[in-house]
Structure 1
Amino acid sequence: MAPATLTFLGAAGTVTGSKFLLTIGGRRVLVDAGMYQGEKHWRSMNWAPFPVDPADIDDVVLTHAHMDHCGYLPRLVKDGFAGDVWATEGTAALAEIVLRDAAYLQERDAEHATLHGYSKHKPVLPLYTEQDVQRTLTHFRAVAYDTDVELGNGVTCRWTRAGHILGSASVRVSTDRTAILFSGDIGRHDHPVLRPRDIPPGAPFVVVESTYGDREHPEPERAHEDFAAAIRRTVARGGQVLIPAFAVDRTEVVLKTIGEMQRDGRIPMVPIYVNSPMALNALRVYRSPAHRDELRPDLDVEEFLGLPNVTETPDADSSRELNDLEGPAIIISSSGMATGGRVLHHLEEMLPHPRNTVILTGYQATGTRGRSLEEGARELKLHGRYIPVRATIVRDAEFSVHADSSDLMDWLGELDPAPETTFIVHGEPDAAAALHERIADELGWTSAVARYGEVVVVEPRTTRRHKDRA
């Protein structure tokens, strides 16, 4: 029998597009099916033919419901994937919201580009449609944490809580000859809303993310003081605050922080608008009793999801009315990297005015509008036009729910047994290289920064030597 192999088809050399293909005996298992975001070079790969015929993939195993881990699924189904998609209940619930929203935005963006003629493609087509998403949802199979699930052909999967977003997990894939542990996105040691991560059983091979592999999260004396100060200054000059926030998990954390600051008198009480249908749907999942065991036991959900000065704007008309707002206000809208969604319309209206402030609350991938703002861009291209950036731009790194370098090392160091080889993915080159050096220096392990398209054998050396002698 041919040895088990792992092929890196995404999140290698970049943070987005997570896709890892395991070939074990006669079975092909794709771990995550993420969409590329950020730089045009990577985004164009969403449209390239998939390196393997999707019809030949038996299963997709998801770690969590962020776009860069599940957003490519409908395209796989559109192109012939007919197997099962395995995910925790929380991931399945959030993935439905994320994928429906993605298809809606893609269809609307294609229509807008066609109408205004700013795309070189004729005709302008979405990567997939809402109908493709509907077909994809029929493939989902929900699994429980810490439970072995048999996929077939002797392949077993086990999901362990990762503490990144609701439903997120590290996934261990095993056979009688080998095991590979995929970290997924690992949460910080102390998530403000979710229960903390658990440590999964070790494996001979580990695939670990490195988003913040080269940095530590700040731990200031007073939490989120840059965030609070920016709001106070903006309100004092009669401006408005725009917070681009990831619809899944970040909006909840931002609302919790704002509520605490209002109660403590750190920021004034001003109107707050949550203008993201996806975020509002995700909030309902977090409120659901079905997922209450995912949340911290000391958390009162209604304390921050039921703030009296919060207005939800689910429909397009109420969203457009926000452009005519007068006086100070806080608007929370997605997407968090300003790659699409309603936040683009707010940026178009608010960026030209010095009285306003944009607060970035999450990781901004290379090539995104959020990264451009973070790096001091003086203009931003939106809907085919360049918009001047005169508003104040503030970055609050404390909101990140990604493990920093020390969190990653702590997680790795607790694995038992230690791996034979660790593969580093889901990081920009500097971050991945820094984690590679730290693993060698502090743990003395063999590790490698994965390259796109690279194929590696994932069977322990002892197993391979035994087979060779046989």
Structure 2
Amino acid sequence: MAHKLRLHFCGAAGTVTGSRHLLDAAGRLVLLDCGMFQGVKPLRQLNWAPFPVAPSKIEAVVLSHAHLDHSGYLPRLVREGFAGPIYCSEATLDLCRLLLLDSAHLQEADADYLNRHGLSRHRPALPLYTVADAHRAIAALRPVPFGQLTALPAGLQFRFTRAGHILGAAIVELAYPGASLAFSGDLGRYDDPLMPPPESVAASDYLIVESTYGNRRHGTESVSDALAAIIGRTIKRGGTIVIPSFAVGRAQLLLFHLWQLKQAGRIPRDLPIYLDSPMASSAVDVYLRHSADQRLSRHDALAAYGVATCVADVEQSKALDRSPMPKIILSASGMATGGRVIHHLKHYASDPRNTVLFAGFQAMGTRGAAMLDGARTVKIHGEYVPVRAEVDNLSMLSAHADADEIMRWLGGFSRAPRHTFIVHGEPDAADALRLRIKDELGWRCHAVEQAETAVLD
């Protein structure tokens, strides 16, 4: 007799971070994604809360892609007792090696900085996990080719389908006795110049779909036109452009556009461009190793990703802030929540000659969201830094499908799922997508809430 599957939403419910969906098949537990909560303090504090079940009872994790809001809690899960395999695509494994170690290094470094300067109320400030924890999580990663059916506990099986979005990103299609479940992960764009479009899913009894841009359409303005205009007016002022960028995916896309602009002579060919993120530089190497998974030829990829000078160490990074010459600095993180870009913002944000250029979605509560909302000051390392620089956003540069593109992907289903669960979106975005699915497709759906449980017959 087929057993019922219980689905517990442990994250990315009412928010775009902390993707964690727990499957319970007659007491056998499998986790879809294991993301870190980011953004406002109440969300970040959820990373420190006990996991809803003992991690030691979870038998496997299936990972949609490498971004930290989907993978960044893995070292903590391992630290708390998880000892099973973590299934992912081959490119996701390579990117997770970078992202998880970088996250652990940053957390250890930030805790050390806070302790040395007495900036934390906690004595001592502790990292969420350590580099050693990250190494243990990486050792548990198990690569699975796209399209291969792979067994999980309790008779479950899964396969990966390409999602676009970033290198290695996957839609997860699960089968269990009597029914099936599809999880979109993060869907990519249909016209992304680097990544292939998201592949269709023919049918599924149940669906978990993201809604990051569920209430928005991406701008139709040319990325090249917007980028050229912003760079042009900034260097005319004698200023520097600081671009907080996600190290994986967004940085490579920005390099591609900057390369195209230089090739076309739309920005000065001698304008220095610096990639000040060791992880982004390493991610370029991963992108080059997996050239078959993307649209660019290897020749063009080498040229595009080589348009910037990689900044290797901290002293070279500091030297960028001492140079008065106009330049472009790409540096992680994309929402200005940590990393080297924080030091650049501290130096450049107060000067009206400069520009701080964001490159896509900024989660509520992040410095990026505050600056785009017009904040006159931002708090960095305990100090309030005035924001006098021009602040812009290339919103059209998102690697996420917008509302129309999500609906286009849903239109590829041959029949309606029994129920669609809407996750990974702010409340307004999730509810807007719910209404479109209901009104345009006639499907049963709802936006899930944190800690909600559903029974899948």
Task: Give the TM-score normalised by structure 1.
Answer: 0.95
Aligned runs of 1:113-262 on 2, under 5 Å?
Answer: 113-220=114-221, 222-262=222-262
> Is this contact kept in 2: 1:39–1:368, CA < 8 A?
yes
3-state SS in 2 of match to 1:153: helix
Show the counterpart of 2:65.
Answer: 64
The one-letter amino acid paired with 2:311 is: T
Q: CA deviation at 1:297?
A: 5.3
Q: Distance in 2 between matches of 1:83 and 1:177?
A: 25
> Is this contact kept in 2: 1:224–1:396, CA < 8 A?
no
Aligned runs of 1:329-368 on 2, under 5 Å?
Answer: 329-368=327-366
Show the counterpart of 2:406.
Answer: 408
The one-letter amino acid paired with 1:445 is: W
The one-letter amino acid paired with 1:261 is: L
> Is this contact kept in 2: 1:277–1:314, CA < 8 A?
yes
3-state SS in 2 of match to 1:124: coil
> Is this contact kept in 2: 1:201–1:416, CA < 8 A?
yes
Show the counterpart of 1:22.
Answer: 23
Alignment of 1:292 with 2:291, yes or no, is: yes
Alignment of 1:438 with 2:436, yes or no, is: yes
3-state SS in 1 of match to 2:11: coil
Show the counterpart of 1:451.
Answer: 449
Summarize deviations over 1:219-277 as a string: whole Å, max 9, x none: 12x44422211110110111100011100010110011011111222222300010001
> Is this contact kept in 2: 1:350–1:391, CA < 8 A?
yes
Q: Distance in 2 between matches of 1:274 and 1:3?
A: 50
Q: CA deviation at 1:2?
A: 5.2
Show the counterpart of 1:31.
Answer: 32
Show the counterpart of 1:379.
Answer: 377
Q: CA deviation at 1:401?
A: 1.0
Summarize deviations over 1:289-310 as a string: whole Å, max 9, x none: xx12101155621120122xx2
The one-letter amino acid paired with 2:294 is: L
C-alpha RMSD of the superposition: 1.1
Show the counterpart of 2:267.
Answer: 267
Alignment of 1:5 with 2:6, yes or no, is: yes
> Is this contact kept in 1: 2:291–2:297, CA < 8 A?
no
Q: Distance in 1 between matches of 2:313 and 2:351?
A: 26
Q: Distance in 1 between matches of 2:315 and 2:340?
A: 12
Equivalent in 428, 433, 438 of residue 426 of structure 2: 428
Show the counterpart of 1:50.
Answer: 51
Q: Distance in 1 between matches of 2:414 and 2:26?
A: 26
Summarize deviations over 1:57-103 as a string: whole Å, max 9, x none: 01000000000000000000000001110000011110110000000
Q: CA deviation at 1:318?
A: 1.1
The one-letter amino acid paired with 1:80 is: G
Show the counterpart of 1:464.
Answer: none
Q: CA deviation at 1:192?
A: 1.2
The one-letter amino acid paired with 2:227 is: F
More displaced, 32-41 or 413-422? 413-422
> Is this contact kept in 1: 2:36–2:73, CA < 8 A?
yes
3-state SS in 1 of match to 2:275: strand
3-state SS in 2 of match to 1:335: coil
Q: Distance in 2 between matches of 1:52 and 1:225?
A: 50
Q: CA deviation at 1:197?
A: 1.8
Alignment of 1:370 with 2:368, yes or no, is: yes
The one-letter amino acid paired with 1:30 is: L
Q: Distance in 2 between matches of 1:2 and 1:295?
A: 40
Summarize deviations over 1:103-134 as a string: whole Å, max 9, x none: 00000000010111111111111000000011
Q: Distance in 2 between matches of 1:396 and 1:218?
A: 9
Equivalent in 304, 320, 323 of residue 322 of structure 1: 320
> Is this contact kept in 2: 1:224–1:398, CA < 8 A?
no
Q: CA deviation at 1:25?
A: 2.4
> In percent, how many aligned pairs have the same letter?
47
Unpaired runs of at least 5, structure 2:
none
Q: Distance in 2 between matches of 1:91 and 1:449?
A: 28
Q: Which segments of structure 1 move beyond 4 Å, counting only runs of 4 or more? A: none
Q: CA deviation at 1:286?
A: 0.5
Q: Distance in 1 between matches of 2:21 and 2:301?
A: 35
> Is this contact kept in 2: 1:227–1:359, CA < 8 A?
no
Summarize deviations over 1:398-437 as a string: whole Å, max 9, x none: 2111000010001111123320100000000100010000
Q: Distance in 1 between matches of 2:70 and 2:284?
A: 20
Q: CA deviation at 1:155?
A: 0.8
Equivalent pairs, count: 454
Alignment of 1:306 with 2:306, yes or no, is: yes
Q: CA deviation at 1:362?
A: 1.6
The one-letter amino acid paired with 2:251 is: T
Alignment of 1:104 with 2:102, yes or no, is: no
3-state SS in 2 of match to 1:233: helix
The one-letter amino acid paired with 1:83 is: G
